[in-house]
Structure 1
Amino acid sequence: MFHRGRAITFLEMMNINRSTIKQQLNKSEFQSINKILIGELRALDMVINEFSKLFEIQEHEVLELSGKK
């Protein structure tokens, strides 16, 4: 059985991971692995997009769930 709430929560967690990686790109202590972080960010973007399409999740659904927490 498909639980939409769980899928949205998982997508929210992936977006948090994406934000963390973006923050690391701007910090000097992570410059030595900058190319790796960019690769991870691109891969995560791809997964987020595919996951959203597969489960037909709109961005506003994730924002609504975030607002309820």
Structure 2
Amino acid sequence: MTKPKRIYLAGPEVFFPHEEHNTIVAEKKRLLREAGYEGIDPLDTALTFSDEEAKPARGHRIYQANRELMDSCD
């Protein structure tokens, strides 16, 4: 069995409340799975932040993590 192609799920729901985001992404992933693809959510990272971390540093880490996710897609 071949590995499904991976698709990065960019969209405005990354800024929605957690529950609403998860509902939308779950549906996107379901539709892609039915079509033979794997959906990759921008929030599929293990990033954690401390209160002491400056916003520019956070932004850079988010950017790097999302670039890595995008690079892992087809």
TM-score, normalised relative to structure 2? 0.33
Judging by fraction of residues, say which structure has more helix: 1
Judging by fraction of residues, say which structure has more strand: 2
Say which structure, 1 or 2, has more relative contact order (CA 8 Å, 6+ apart): 1
TM-score, normalised relative to structure 1? 0.35
